[in-house]
Amino acid sequence: MRALVLTGQLTLETDRPSPVCAPGEVLVRVTHAGICSTDIELTKGYMDFHGILGHEFVGAIAPGQDDALHNSGFAPGDRVVAEINCVTPGSPSRDYFARAQDPQRTTIGIDRHDGVFADHASVPVANLHHVPASVRDTEAVFVEPLAAACQILEQVHIRTTDRVAVIGDGKLGLLCAQVLATTNCPLTVFGKHDAKLDILRQRGIATMLSDQWDGRRDFDIVVECTGAPVGFDQARRMLRPRGTLVLKSTFEGLTPANLTSLVVDEINLIGSRCGPFVSALRLLEAKQVDVSSLISAQYSLDHGLAAFQHARQKGMLKVLLVM
């Protein structure tokens, strides 16, 4: 099969053997996959990952596999997405929340588990979710990052009176903004690219260019989605004392932080990563978020390396791979 493989550098292999399923896993024929900022960071050495890259995908369960699918509620041909944190079948970690922090976990396309930038991928049956018929493949491919955005609502109780800011108008920022908007809180999204902020304004979400911020520190909750070390400080400066700072960015490198200011202002600091696929699928099915406007380009897997070049360009939104 074809696969984008990271071995120090990224290469397109065309004769890679199909994955061998571990116990509790099934083979999925990948139809679409999304290149995420984490994938770009992995090519720079983040997590020291080697293997098939990719964790955002939609696909169909491959034929056969009766034993692995027995009593699972899934059948060959079913259209599915899969959570990325994997544990073995006997594990006590039975849901996404437990699996995300299971010390034994591997992570699809990120940590010791081959990923989905390939014709086929092997994923745990326990991680699968059906894709509703009304959700297109090009929407379902966003479930993983959209679920990560939904995780904020699992961790922070947002009142309709809370002043909330999102910093960053990249892929994750645009998804987090749309999820936070469902709470009807007063929300402002800060970014550097007017064209990207316009995607949100079209949906009635208030935006501001970062350099137009008036310096007032009166946000109750700030969600940092810049994907860059500077985001932490920016977010920090917008928060009121005893406010809540939610960190979503993962990147290779260090964050220079003034930790004393967190102590003095008694800031609640929340790290936030993987989230509930069920919520993300529900939002897509109810058309409460729009992901189509986040697609910058689509490439055949044959041109996967060119797709990565495209995705690496500054200011790019989602680049999809089509298998």
Residues that bind Zn ion (CB under 5 A): 36, 38
- Contacts of residues 258-263 at CB distance under 8 Å and 24 or more positions apart, as own/partner, are 258/233, 261/236, 262/236
Q: Which is nearer to Zn ion, 177 or 267 (CB)?
A: 177
Shortest spacing between CB 145 and Zn ion, in angstroms:
5
Q: Which is nearer to Zn ion, 25 or 83 (CB)?
A: 83
Q: What are the CA-CA distances from residue 118 to residues 54, 76, 179, 199, 238 (Å)? A: 9, 19, 30, 31, 42
Shortest spacing between CB 288 and Zn ion, in angstroms:
21
Structure tokens at 223: 């969600």
- CA–CA separation, 62 and 87 (whole Å): 21
Coil, helix or strand at residue 57 = strand
Q: Which is nearer to Zn ion, 36 or 320 (CB)?
A: 36
Residue 17 has φ and ψ, to the nearest 5°, of -65, 145
Among 56, 33, 21, residue whose Cα is nearest residue 280? 56
End-to-end CA distance of the chain: 11
Coil, helix or strand at residue 221 = strand
Shortest spacing between CB 54 and Zn ion, in angstroms:
9
Shortest spacing between CB 276 and Zn ion, in angstroms:
15
Residue at shortest CB range from Zn ion: 36
DSSP state of 192: S
Shortest spacing between CB 225 and Zn ion, in angstroms:
12
Q: Which is nearer to Zn ion, 48 or 211 (CB)?
A: 48
Shortest spacing between CB 55 and Zn ion, in angstroms:
6
Among 220, 226, 218, 188, residue whose Cα is nearest residue 204? 188
- CA–CA separation, 167 and 84 (whole Å): 25
Q: Which is nearer to Zn ion, 213 or 251 (CB)?
A: 251
Q: Which is nearer to Zn ion, 53 or 180 (CB)?
A: 53
Shortest spacing between CB 287 and Zn ion, in angstroms:
22
DSSP state of 300: E
Shortest spacing between CB 12 and Zn ion, in angstroms:
20
Q: What are the CA-CA distances from residue 167 to residues 99, 135, 152, 223, 247 (Å)? A: 28, 28, 14, 6, 10
Q: What angle do CA 10, 16, 18 make, to 5 degrees?
A: 125
Coil, helix or strand at residue 210 = helix
Q: Which is nearer to Zn ion, 33 or 36 (CB)?
A: 36
Q: Which is nearer to Zn ion, 165 or 172 (CB)?
A: 172
